[in-house]
Amino acid sequence: MDHTTCATSKTISPYRVLLVLFLLGSTFVLLQGVSGTLRTPIKQTLGKFPTMLADWKALSSRESTEAVVKMLGVDDYIEYNYADSTGRAVNFYTAFYESVGTGGGYHSPKNCIPGGGWGIDAVTTVEIQPKGRVSVTVSEMIIRNRNEYQVVFYWYQNRGRIIYSEYWEKIYLVRDAILMKRRDGAFVRLIAPAPGGDIQQAEKTLQQFAGLAISELDNFLPGK
């Protein structure tokens, strides 16, 4: 068959033209709505986040270089290393953005963690029961470097929601940019070692800490 002849003999359906025009118009309206958002400041700086959470005490902190902070476009962040009286340890990182996507944005752990010998063995979700909240779902990753294991919990705590999925986070971001004129949000990540490959114990540790962190972050992050 002569594909050239076939292609030139077709006519464009008026319905298809209308559909294309509708999509172009909708995209224009969408972009106008998103671009009209306002920067939403944090309630109080994350530097005031408690160094004591129940039985957990922050033993050390880490600061990123100025170049990294500028690259990420983050407006506020903390990274603390907590431990409890039994020796359990949790690395806690939170980054807040006044307007996600206009100056900086999230970097998924799925892209950032692999490297330096570390790889992702499994990705799933887990339920958390924060104090004073209904149960929420967060993402979980099992990472490994040879025979060393760690468990990672992460989520997006944005405009009153706990969002476990990068995809749903983007959907809500566009929705809230249009309806609420807001793009503020926070990325939260917890890491616990799993000595001897005891994944279940590390998960229990993170579930306990995550419940405390989610409730406390409500005092810092803008809600609905």
Per-residue model confidence (pLDDT) at position 89: 96
Neighbour-count burial for 50-77, b at 16+ CB within 10 Å, e otherwise: eeebeebebeeeeeeeeeeeeebbbbbb
Residue 70 belongs to a domain: yes
| 99 and 31 in a common domain | no
**Is residue 132 one of the residues assigned to a domain?**
yes
- Residues 190, 86 within the same domain: yes
Residues in the chain predicted with pLDDT less than 50, given as ranges, are: 1-11, 27-28, 31
129 closest CA partner among 223, 214, 31:
214
Q: What is the pTM of this model?
A: 0.81
**Structural domain boundaries enclosing 108:** 46-217
Same domain, 76 and 101: yes
Residue 78 lies in a domain: yes
Give the pLDDT of residue 5. Answer: 32
Does residue 40 belong to any structural domain of this protein?
no
| Same-domain check for residues 108 and 142 | yes
Residue 10 lies in a domain: yes
- Is position 223 within any domain? no
Residue 21 shares a structural domain with residue 101: no
Number of domains in the chain: 2
